[in-house]
Structure 1
Amino acid sequence: MTNSASMTWYQKHLYNETQKVIASTRCKICRKPIGENDYLSFEERYFHAHCLKRPTLEQYSTVKRR
Structure 2
Amino acid sequence: MSFIDKAKDLIGQNVDKVEAAIEKAGDAIDAKTEGKFAGAVDKAQQAAKDAAQKLQGEGDTSA
Do both share a fold (TM > 0.5)?
no
In terms of fraction of residues, the more helix-rich structure is 2
TM-score, normalised relative to structure 2? 0.35
Larger strand proportion of the pair: 1
| Greater RCO (Cα-Cα under 8 Å, separation 6 or more) | 2
Larger Rg: 1
Give TM-score scaled by structure 1 length. Answer: 0.34
